[in-house]
């Protein structure tokens, strides 16, 4: 099997989240001749796939997603984003980085290896969306079936600039806030007859932003709060508005929990916002960390053997489905391609990197003992 050809076959499918677009059909056609038993499960509008070869323990699972983000302005692309095109050593197309190529690399690596235990794949079409009916529900379904995953490799693109730089052994948590502060509209010349919601909102945001949440830990960078939106919707320069709105997000390490950060924000909101306000928090992920025991060093060894570089253990970046999987297995590592062009126009990956990632995965499978 050729990882480039399989990557292109997957990339030709228009699997814009949460649509499957035929991508899972391509995967099944590649996996069944290798001896994998495939199970398709649909939850709401999301199609998912679990494939396993072998029944014995340990079960080494590869997790990923075939759904991709929309291409945006197709006219801005060098080539049709769903007609994967090779120019020199570069493969262009949506999913080249994130992450159809990694899925292809794992399948081809699996085709090269004899198994003593089991190999499996957990693939969703809901990672780039709300992530409600994909990996999370599949894991619950697998648990009810008595299916056990011992270790998991997640194929998200983990390298900033070069293959071999970085693998993930955890992720930061994420909590978002939507805040509306109500006031009383009035003329700017008569502020005593109005209540300006902007002033207390600015004071709150200023204190939130100025607070140092922590200094970071051994494997985590410092937590950070970013204000993402401040809206008043007031076109008049001589009118005090009736309300002001803001949105902000905290990416936090394992010093915190989402609930504790919500409690902190609510306390400051009560301090600053004496008028009527509505604060809506949403915790999308808790910070987690998987200590590098067997699998992380094994993956790092494979990366070093193939690329000549020893990868850094990292917890940077956004969230991924690893936040769900880590509850169901002993060890978890994220290892994939370069993320520099992920979600961008002209998303791409080099052919050399795709082949090297295939070799890395092959080493991981062989050295894991399956």
Separation between Cα atoms, residue 346 and residue 126, nearest integer Å: 22
Looking at the chain, list the stretches that DSSP marks H as alpha helix, in order from N- to C-terminal side. 3-11, 23-31, 100-111, 135-144, 198-210, 258-272, 295-307, 322-325, 351-368
State the Cα–Cα distance between residues 41 and 44, nearest whole angstrom.
10
Q: Catalytic pick from 19, 20, 67, 98? A: 67
Active site (annotated) includes residue 127: yes
Measured CA to CA, the distance from residue 163 to residue 40 in angstroms comes to 32
Closest CA to 307 of 198, 88, 161, 208: 161
Q: What is the DSSP letter of 78?
A: S
Sign of the C-alpha dihedral, residues 56, 59, 60, 62?
positive
Q: Residue 261 contacts by C-beta under 8 Å, 6 or more apart in sequence?
A: 175, 250, 252
Backbone angles phi, psi at 178, to 5 degrees: -120, 125
Cis previous bond, 99, omega within 30: yes
Catalytic residue status for 25: no
Looking at 19, 47, 98, 127, which residue is catalytic? 127
Catalytically active residues are: 67, 127
């Amino acid at each position: 099997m050729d990882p480039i050809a399989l990557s292109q076959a997957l990339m030709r499918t228009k699997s814009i989240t949460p649509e499957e677009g035929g991508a899972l059909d391509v995967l099944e056609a590649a996996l069944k001749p290798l001896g994998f038993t495939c199970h398709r499960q649909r939850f709401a509008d999301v199609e998912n796939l679990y494939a396993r070869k072998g029944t014995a323990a340990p079960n080494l699972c590869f997790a990923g997603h075939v759904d991709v983000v929309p291409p945006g302005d197709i006219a801005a692309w060098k080539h049709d984003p769903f007609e994967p095109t090779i120019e020199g050593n570069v493969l262009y197309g949506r999913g080249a980085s994130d992450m159809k190529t990694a899925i292809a690399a794992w399948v081809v690596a699996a085709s090269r290896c004899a198994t003593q235990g089991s190999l499996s794949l957990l693939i969703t079409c809901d990672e780039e969306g709300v992530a409600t009916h994909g990996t999370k529900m599949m894991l619950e379904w697998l648990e009810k079936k008595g299916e056990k995953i011992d270790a998991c490799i997640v194929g998200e693109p983990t390298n900033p600039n070069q293959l071999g730089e970085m693998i993930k052994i955890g992720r930061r948590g994420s909590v978002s806030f939507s805040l509306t502060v109500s006031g009383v509209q009035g003329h700017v010349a008569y502020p005593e007859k109005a209540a300006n919601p902007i002033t207390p909102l600015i004071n709150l945001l200023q204190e939130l932003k100025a607070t140092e949440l922590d200094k970071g830990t051994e494997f985590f960078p410092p937590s950070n709060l970013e204000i993402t939106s401040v809206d008043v919707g007031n076109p008049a320069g001589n009118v005090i508005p009736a309300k002001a709105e803001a949105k902000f997000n905290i990416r936090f390490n394992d010093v915190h929990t989402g609930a504790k950060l919500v409690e902190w924000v609510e306390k400051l909101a009560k301090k600053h916002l004496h008028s009527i306000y509505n604060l809506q928090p949403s915790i999308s992920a808790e910070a987690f960390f998987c200590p590098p025991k067997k699998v992380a060093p094994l993956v790092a060894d494979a990366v070093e053997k193939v690329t000549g570089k020893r990868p850094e253990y990292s917890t940077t970046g956004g969230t991924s489905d690893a936040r769900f999987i880590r509850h169901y297995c002993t060890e978890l590592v994220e290892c994939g391609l370069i993320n520099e062009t992920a979600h961008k126009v002209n998303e791409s990956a080099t052919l050399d990197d795709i082949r090297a990632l295939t070799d890395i995965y092959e080493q991981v499978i062989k050295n894991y003992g399956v």
